[in-house]
C-alpha cells in the first residue's frame, strides 16, 4: 500500500518509554512510510493502521519524561496531522490495590474512564491551607468518542463465555510473530506479590525471598486472565515508592487505582484516553520486572479499543482510508482527495507530492483551525 496523506490520520497513540513504543507498534496491522512534517513540528512519527484507522504513534525524545516534556512534544502533533479525532496515552503505571474490593494486579490494565469522578487528577498541583493540600486544577476528560467505545469494550468483556479466551489474549499473541519481542514481552515467571503497607523493602534483598507473613493473601487467578479496571488515574511529577502516601492519595481522589507521571501534562494540551498496564504497586518494593508485560497489556487494550471503534471520516476527504475514487486510486494514498480546496506542490528534490488543504479544517477539539 502507498503512503496515506497526513490528513487521513484520525488516531494518535502516545508513548513515553521506548519499551512502550515497541509494544504499541506490534499492534499495527500495517506500517506506512513517513509523511512530510509541518513547519514547527519537531516530532518524528511511526505511522500505520489498526483495523479501519490510520494511526500516528509518537513519543518524546529518548530520556525525556514527565509532564513538561510530554506537553512540549504533544503540542505540535496537530500541525502535521490536523484531523486527529481520538488520542490515547498508552504505557505503564503503578497500581493502587484495594483488595478485595478492587483487585488490581501486575499486568492488569487501568483505564482513566471512571463512571463518576475525574479521569486524571494532577495530585501535586494546588495550594496548601490550614486543612492540608488542596488540588486546584481540573483536567479535561478523554474524548467523548473514546468514552463511548470504552463502554462497548467493557460490554464485550462481560460477555466472555466459559472456556473462551480473554479478549486481550489474541492481541498479546501477536508478539509470538517476533522471536526477540516474544521473549522481551512475555509474562514474567517472577511471582506477583503484594506486601502489607507496613512492610518496607529491605535494601539488598530480593522480593521473591520476603517472608509470606508480610504478604497480602489474595485468591488465585486464572493464569492468563487480565482484568481491565476503569478508574481515576493520579498523575504527578515524582516517582511514587511509598505505600502509605499512595493509599492516602487514592482515598482522597476517588479511590484511584493507578498512579503515573505524564498524563497531567497531556490532558489539556491533547485530551486522550489514558491506558496504563500495571507494572508495580508504587511502593518500596517497586522494580522493573513486570514493565514489559504491562506495556504489552496496555497496548493490547488500545488495539481492542480501535477494533471496536467505527471508521472515522474526514469531511474534506471522504473515508479516511480505503475509499476508491473514480480514477481507481485510493483517497489518501496517491491522488488528491475529492472535496475541499487542495493545491498540489512538488517537494523540492524529494520526488514526493504534498497536498495542501486550503479549506478550513476541523481540529481535535472541533474548533475551526487556522489555515
Is the CB of residue 142 less than 8 Å from the CB of residue 231? no
pLDDT at 63: 87
User: So what's the pLDDT on residue 1?
Assistant: 52
- With a cut of 60, say whether residue 99 has pLDDT above it: yes
**CB-based burial of residue 164 (10 Å sphere; 0-12 exposed, 13-18 middle, 19+ buried)?**
exposed
Q: How confident is the model at residue 195 (pLDDT cuts 50, 70, 90)?
A: very high
Mean pLDDT of 295-318: 89
Contact 141, 292 (CB under 8 A): no
The pTM of this model reads 0.85
pLDDT recorded at residue 136: 84
Q: Which of 123, 133, 95 is nearest to 237 (CA)?
A: 123
Distance CA 321, CA 313 (A): 8
Amino acid at each position: 500500500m502507498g503512503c496515506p496523506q497526513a490528513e487521513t490520520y484520525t488516531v494518535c497513540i502516545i508513548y513515553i518509554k521506548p519499551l512502550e513504543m515497541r509494544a504499541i507498534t506490534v499492534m499495527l496491522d500495517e506500517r506506512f512510510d513517513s509523511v512530510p512534517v509541518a513547519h514547527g513540528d519537531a516530532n518524528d512519527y511511526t505511522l500505520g493502521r489498526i483495523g479501519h484507522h490510520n494511526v500516528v504513534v509518537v513519543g518524546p525524545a529518548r530520556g525525556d519524561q514527565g509532564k513538561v516534556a510530554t506537553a512540549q512534544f504533544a503540542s505540535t502533533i496537530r500541525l502535521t496531522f490536523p484531523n486527529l479525532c481520538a488520542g490515547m496515552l498508552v504505557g505503564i503505571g503503578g497500581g493502587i490495590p484495594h483488595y478485595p474490593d478492587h483487585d488490581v494486579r501486575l499486568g492488569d490494565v487501568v483505564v482513566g474512564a471512571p463512571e463518576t469522578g475525574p479521569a486524571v487528577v494532577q495530585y501535586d498541583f494546588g495550594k496548601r491551607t490550614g486543612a492540608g493540600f488542596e488540588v486546584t486544577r481540573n483536567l479535561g476528560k478523554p474524548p467523548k468518542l473514546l468514552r463511548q467505545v470504552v463502554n462497548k469494550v467493557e460490554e464485550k468483556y462481560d460477555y466472555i463465555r466459559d472456556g473462551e479466551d480473554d479478549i486481550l489474549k489474541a492481541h498479546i499473541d501477536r508478539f509470538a510473530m517476533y522471536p526477540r519481542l516474544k521473549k522481551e514481552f512475555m509474562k514474567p515467571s517472577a511471582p506477583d506479590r503484594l506486601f502489607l503497607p507496613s512492610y518496607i523493602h529491605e535494601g539488598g534483598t530480593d522480593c521473591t525471598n520476603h517472608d509470606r507473613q508480610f504478604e497480602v493473601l489474595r485468591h488465585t487467578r486464572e493464569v492468563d486472565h487480565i482484568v481491565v479496571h476503569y478508574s481515576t488515574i493520579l498523575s504527578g511529577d515524582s516517582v511514587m515508592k511509598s505505600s502509605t502516601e499512595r493509599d492516602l492519595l487514592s482515598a482522597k481522589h476517588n479511590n484511584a487505582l493507578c498512579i503515573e507521571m505524564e498524563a497531567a501534562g497531556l490532558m489539556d494540551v491533547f485530551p486522550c484516553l489514558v491506558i496504563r498496564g500495571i507494572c508495580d504497586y508504587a511502593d518500596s518494593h517497586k522494580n522493573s520486572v513486570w514493565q514489559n508485560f504491562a506495556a504489552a497489556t496496555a497496548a493490547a487494550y488500545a488495539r481492542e479499543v480501535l477494533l471496536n471503534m467505527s471508521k472515522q471520516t474526514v469531511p474534506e476527504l471522504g473515508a479516511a482510508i480505503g475509499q476508491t475514487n473514480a480514477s481507481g486510486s485510493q483517497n489518501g494514498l496517491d491522488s488528491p482527495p475529492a472535496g475541499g480546496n487542495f493545491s498540489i506542490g512538488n517537494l523540492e528534490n524529494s520526488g514526493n507530492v504534498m497536498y495542501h488543504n486550503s479549506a478550513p479544517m476541523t481540529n481535535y477539539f472541533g474548533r475551526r483551525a487556522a489555515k
